[in-house]
Structure 1
Amino acid sequence: MNRLQFTVPPLPHYMLCGLSSYGPGGRHVSRRNVGVFDLLVVREGCLYVGEEEQTYEIGEGCALILRPDSHHYGTKGCDVHTSYYWLHFQTTGSWTLTDDELPRSGPEPYDEKRMQALWSYATHTFQIQVPQFVRLLHPGKVDELIDQLIQLNHSFYSGSAKWNQQALFQEVLRQLSASMAPAESAPAAACADQAAAYMRKHYRESITAQELGERLNFHPVYIARCMQRYYGCAPMEYLMHHRIEQAKLLLLQTDHTIARIAEEVGFNQAAYFTSCFTKAEGISPRKYRQRFSYG
Structure 2
Amino acid sequence: MSRLQFTVPPMPHYMLCGPVTYEPGRRHVSRRNIGVFDLLVVREGCLYMGEEEQTFNVEPGCALILRPDTSHYGTQGCKERTSYYWLHFQTTGSWTVTDDELPRHGLEPYDEKRTQAMWSYSTHTFQIQVPQFVKLLHPSKMDELFEQLIQLNQHFYSGSAKWSQQVVFQDVLRELSASMAKEESTPAAVCAALAAEYLRKHYREPITAQELGERLNFHPVYIARCMQRSYGCAPMEYLMHHRIEQAKLLLLQTDLAVARIAEEVGFNQAAYFTSCFTRTEGISPRQFRQRFYYG
> Superposition pairs for residues 197-276 of structure 1, below 5 Å?
none
Q: Per-residue displacement from partner, 1:212-232 (whole Å, max 9, x unpaired)?
A: xxxxxxxxxxxxxxxxxxxxx
Structure 1 stretch 75-84 or stretch 174-183: which is displaced more? 174-183
Distance 1:83 1:126, change over 3 A: same
Using a 3 Å threshold, how does the CA distance of structure 1 residues 87 and 184 change in structure 2: closer, same or farther? closer
Deviation per CA, 1:103-158, whole angstroms, max 9, x where unpaired?
11466553321111234422100000000000001111011001100000000111
Question: What's the counterpart of residue 26 of structure 1?
Answer: 26
- In 1, Cα distance between equivalents of 2:76 and 2:112: 54
The residue number in structure 2 matching 1:147 is 147
Label 1:45 to 1:123 Cα distance change in 2 as closer, same or farther (>3 A).
Answer: same
2:77 counterpart of 1:100: no
Structure 2 regions of 5+ residues with no counterpart? 186-295
Question: For the aligned residues, what is the CA RMSD?
Answer: 1.5
Equivalent residue, structure 1, for 2:265: none
Q: Which amino acid aligns with 1:153?
A: N
Quick one: distance in 1 between partners of 2:96 and 2:61? 25
Q: Give the structure 1 partner of residue 66 of structure 2.
A: 66
Q: In structure 1, how many angstroms separate the alpha carbons of the residues matched to 2:134 and 2:45?
A: 16
- Give 1:177's aligned amino acid: S
Q: Does 1:182 align with 2:182?
A: yes
Deviations 1:148-195 (A, max 9, x none): 00000000111110110000000000000000123599xxxxxxxxxx
Report the alpha carbon displacement of residue 35 of structure 1 after superposing the two structures with TM. Answer: 0.2
Provide closer, same or farther for how the CA distance between residues 184 and 121 of structure 1 changes in structure 2, counting only shifts above 3 A: closer
Question: Secondary structure of the equivalent of 1:182?
Answer: helix
The letter of the residue matching 2:54 is Q
The size of the alignment, in residue pairs, is: 185
CA distance in 1, matches of 2:112, 2:183: 39
Aligned to 1:134: 134
Which has the higher mean CA deviation after the structures are superposed, 117-126 or 37-46? 117-126
Q: Using the alignment, how far apart are the partners of 1:101 and 1:69 within structure 2?
A: 22
Give the whole-Å Cα distance in 2 for the aligned partners of 1:174 and 1:105.
19
Q: Is the 2:137–2:182 contact (alpha carbons within 8 Å) kept by the matching residues of 1? A: no
Three-state SS of the structure 2 residue aligned to 1:130 is strand
Aligned residue runs from structure 1 range 31-50, under 5 A: 31-50=31-50
Structure 1 CA distance for aligned equivalents of residues 28 and 183 of structure 2: 30
- Other-structure match for 2:166: 166
- Cα–Cα, structure 1 residues 163 and 56, in superposed 2: closer, same or farther, change >3 Å? same
- CA–CA distance in structure 2, aligned partners of residues 78 and 6 of structure 1: 32
Gaps of 5+ in 1: 186-295
* Deviations 1:51-93 (CA, angstroms, capped at 9, x unpaired): 0000000000000000000000000000000000000000000
Distance 2:149 2:105 in 1: 31
Contact residue 40 and residue 65 of structure 2 kept, 8 A:
yes
Counterpart-to-counterpart distance in 2, 1:38 and 1:47: 14
Q: Which amino acid aligns with 1:28?
A: H
Q: Percent identity?
A: 78
Residue 80 of structure 1 corresponds to: 80
Instruction: After superposition, give the CA deviation of every residue in 1:229-248 in whole Å (9 maximum; x if it has no partner).
Output: xxxxxxxxxxxxxxxxxxxx
User: What is the distance in 2 between the residues matched to 1:109 and 1:175?
Assistant: 33
> Which moves more between the two structures, 168-177 or 108-117?
108-117
TM-score by length of 1: 0.61
